[in-house]
Chains A and B, each alone.
Chain A
Amino acid sequence: MLVRVDPGSPEPIYAQIAAGVRREVAAGRLRSGERLPGARDLAAALGVNLHTVLRGYQELRDEGVVELRRGRGAVVTDRAPRIAGPAAALRAFVAEARRAGLSAAEAAAMVREEMS
């Protein structure tokens, strides 16, 4: 698993970490059932705050890309390979929708329209 963080980027570090994991999953380099490294270890490796990494892992958990299990840490879910790519695009779409001032209902309607 390769994770890049650019402190100079406008994107928050936790989001860059989550994006990195999504990329690895979408590319097949992280497979379902594989464990992500411990948050403390990744924080030490990248030289960032532990809570930054935890926030990134929580974002991945909220999307369903990983599960957080007691004792095992973050584990890639079975459906992660399918949703990792769309989840990344979703972040970009939602950012755009917010910038344009769309409501959640309007944005969801756009998605439904496009998918039918």
Chain B
Amino acid sequence: MTGRMRVIVPWLLVLGGPAAVGLAGLLLLLGFRDQLPDPVAVHWGADGADGFASPDRALLLVWTGPVAGAAFGALTLAVYRADQALRRHAASLATGFATFVTAVVVGSLWQQRGLADATAAQDPDLVLVVALLLTLAFGVGAAALAPGDRPGAAVATGPVPAASPRVPLGPDERVAWSAWTAASPAVLTVLAVALLPLAALAAAGIAPLFLLLVLLLVLVLTTATMSARVWVDQRGLTVRSPLGWPRHWVPLAEVAAAAAVDVHPLRDFGGWGYRIGRGGRSGVVLRRGPALEVTRGDGRRFVVTVDGAAEAAALLTALTARARG
């Protein structure tokens, strides 16, 4: 894949993905538009359908998802420096968002075919579940289509900065440094509190299936991203989630420099977790404080908050210096 393709294909995905989804939704909808009551139900409350609109208005609703999704994706691509993680993120965000909204609109209208009166419209719980599953599938699919980085693009040439602190290292010595890093209790508490209403509904047995799925999804994502095992060794820097994925690996050959820095998640990265931050940095930022920052051969920086960052940086510098001089 050429460099130009690496720029064009993500834009095709971010604009074309939502467009394709919107078009598919519109065509489906036009197929059964004649069977819809007038007005159709577009909003549901505790007592059933309580918001209505003309079918033609509803047709317009189909486009809200794709337009918004494409806008989010485009903004992401335009603002941040592109690497394969960002391209995948933008593609899946755009396509996923478009899919969810379109599927909900089309699905909830599909359920109203043949109805004489829209007040009898079934509430869209099952539609939401199907929409969520489709979103996951298409989001992952779009991410898979996004171009990867050019192999070897980030390889570092030249020695590490002479002034960087390093641990003493024998020529044949094997050394490994490892630590566990996790989100601060404060962050986890906030997450737990935010999920409490959902969890309470689930425990009481009255949560709709869709909300149960969302709860499950959030729990899985939280487990995957709120703690990690960090390794500095002959392979380079590896940050791995307890579920095995996500995994970030900076090979030793790509390490141009390693340093211990101080990080404020909110200020530097806009939040906690797997982040893309200001100034071309990305990272696993789980708490405020010391972090290991690695600069790659192409200038991109990866950061992971972890105790003992200074020792880790010194080891990584020493390993790199020994490998490359």
Contact = CB atoms under 8 A, between A and B. Distances in A.
Interface of A: 1-8, 29, 34-35, 37, 41-42, 44-48
Interface string B175-212: 11111100000000000000000000000000000000
Contact of B233 (A29, A34, A46): A46
B178 A47 contact: no
24 contacts: A1-B179, A2-B175, A2-B176, A2-B177, A4-B174, A5-B174, A5-B175, A6-B170, A6-B173, A7-B172, A7-B174, A37-B229, A37-B231, A41-B178, A41-B229, A41-B231, A42-B176, A42-B178, A45-B176, A46-B174, A46-B175, A46-B233, A46-B234, A47-B174
A115 B219 CA distance: 54
Top 7 A-B pairs ranked by shortest CB distance? A45-B176, A45-B233, A5-B174, A37-B178, A46-B174, A2-B177, A4-B175
A72 to B, nearest CB: 12
Nearest to A37: B178
B235 A45 contact: yes
B51 interface: no
Nearest to B179: A1
* Interface size range of chain B in the complex: 10 to 19
A48 B315 CA distance: 19
A4 B175 CA distance: 4
Secondary structure of the B side of the interface? Answer: strand
A112 to B, nearest CB: 39
B172 A35 contact: no
B311 to A, nearest CB: 7
B308 interface: yes
Contacts of A2: 175-177, 311, 315
Contact of B231 (A5, A29, A34, A45): A45
B234 A47 contact: yes
Contacts of B178: 1, 37, 41-42, 45
Contacts of A35: 180
A22 to B, nearest CB: 16
Nearest to A36: B178
Contact of A5 (B173, B235, B311): B173
Contact of A6 (B172, B234, B315): B172
A45 B234 contact: yes
A47 B229 CA distance: 18
Contacts of A47: 174, 234
Contacts of B234: 45-47
Contacts of B311: 2
A44 B231 CA distance: 11
Interface string B275-306: 00000000000000000000000000000000
Contacts of A46: 174-176, 233-234
A29 B173 contact: no
A5 B170 CA distance: 10
